[in-house]
Every structure is written in structure tokens, then in C-alpha cells.
Amino acid sequence: MVGAIGAYPEGSPYDFEMRTFAPRCGVPEDPACGSMNAGVGLWLTSTGAAPAAYRVSQGARVGRAATIEVGADADGTVWVSGATTVCIRGTIPV
């Protein structure tokens, strides 16, 4: 998996644009990747490159625009949230 993130100019509705690619997994581009946003969020917030809470735009380039909210608690725990749509329901025996 490969990700790229870039900052929007100050005053934009989003702080960053994220692009995530996983071609080896059969996903040319993930329109809203929570795991990549969590990892990058930890890096950005722990280094001071981003505030403790920020907004990410992802998926617009592939026709599935998503808004992802990333926030870090005082102890460094990173939270990723946003609206979702259930596409599949079911049970998997483990």
C-alpha cells in the first residue's frame, strides 16, 4: 500500500488531501482509507505537522468523495471518523 498526502491552502474546507493505492490487493485506489489516515494521523499529530484535529478529503479523484475527520487525544491516541454507507451485511464464522 502506498499513500500520498498534501496540504490544502489555509482557509480551505479541508486541511489535507489523501490518496491511497493498493494495487497488489486489487485496489487501484481506495476512496476512503481509515487505516492509512490513522497511521498518517499519528505521524502528523505527533510531530506537530498537523493540529490535534483536522479534516481530510479523499476519493474525489475516483468519483467517491469522502470527508474523513482525524483527531488525536492528549495521550496520542488517534481517532478516524466519517460518514459511512453499509454495502454488505452478513456473518463470518471464525
Are 20 and 30 in contact by the 8 Å Cβ rule? The answer is yes
Cell triple for 79: 481517532
The domains found in the chain, sorted by start residue, are 2-81 (3.10.310.10)
**pLDDT at residue 49 above 90?**
yes
Helix (H) or strand (E) holding 22: strand 16-22
Name 76's Cβ contacts closer than 8 Å, sequence gap at least 6.
42, 45, 46
Helices marked H in the chain:
34-47
Looking at residue 33, its pLDDT comes to: 93
> What confidence tens digit (pLDDT) does each residue in 9-34 have?
999 999 999 999 999 989 899 999 99
The Cα–Cα gap between 63 and 65 comes to: 6
Q: Pick the range with the lowest mean pLDDT from 22-26, 58-62, 66-70.
A: 22-26
The DSSP letter of residue 88 is: -
- Region 34-39: what's the mean pLDDT? 95
Q: At 16, which amino acid appears?
A: F
In this prediction, residues 52-74 reach a mean pLDDT of 96
